Amino acid sequence: MDNQWNKGDVLYNDALIRIKWVLDNYPNSTLKVILWQQGERDLQYNNTDYRANLDIFVNNILMDLGENNNNFVFIAGGMVPFWTNLNPKRINSEKIIETLPSRIEHTGFADPNNPFIIIKPDNNIDTVHFDAAGQREMGRRYFETYRKIK
């Protein structure tokens, strides 16, 4: 919504340039997965069509990077459950992220609620971000999701 991650925007282009640079300059390199952890910023900007915007972004990334590497996947991670559950709009956005694999091939979802809900000792501190333990757990969940896709 803030014109940073749409095709042609600064952050989108920067990510593509960096990935392509590595692939071009290190001949044995391959792109296996893109891990995407996002959502709260679009809610801040009141993205009224989050699903369409997310799907366009993911499809663009898959197409732009798939030219040279057709074997990579895109895995989206869920948002912090405590923060998400404080607001119905966040719950709806989380469901959109969660159902990404049913809409777009070569995608997955790393679920912060399964096999158990990721919580912090005090969920009221920095409600929007995972703490270090939560980040490590999400890393495991991204990996498990990747293993299931591949």
Asked if the structure places residue 122 within a domain, the reply is yes
Please compute the mean of the pLDDT values over residues 29-52 and round it to a whole number: 79
pLDDT digits (tens, 9 = 90+) for 88-117: 988 989 999 999 999 999 999 999 999 999
114-142 burial string, b = 16+ CB within 10 Å, else e?
eeeebebeebeeeebebbeebeebbeebb
Closest CA to 15 of 82, 93, 74: 74
Q: Is residue 79 left, alpha or beta, with left meaning phi > 0 and alpha meaning psi from -120 to 50?
A: beta
Asked if the structure places residue 8 within a domain, the reply is no
Asked if the structure places residue 98 within a domain, the reply is yes
Asked if the structure places residue 2 within a domain, the reply is no
Range of the domain at 78: 32-149
Structurally, how many domains does the chain consist of? 1
What pLDDT does residue 3 have? 74
- Among 10-24, 43-57, 77-91, 136-150, whose mean pLDDT is lowest? 43-57
Asked if the structure places residue 78 within a domain, the reply is yes
Asked if the structure places residue 61 within a domain, the reply is yes
Mean pLDDT of the chain: 90
Asked if the structure places residue 101 within a domain, the reply is yes
Asked if the structure places residue 16 within a domain, the reply is no
CATH number of the domain encompassing residue 68: 3.40.50.1110
What confidence category does residue 27 fall into, taking pLDDT thresholds of 50, 70 and 90?
confident
Where is pLDDT greater, at 46 or 108? Answer: 108
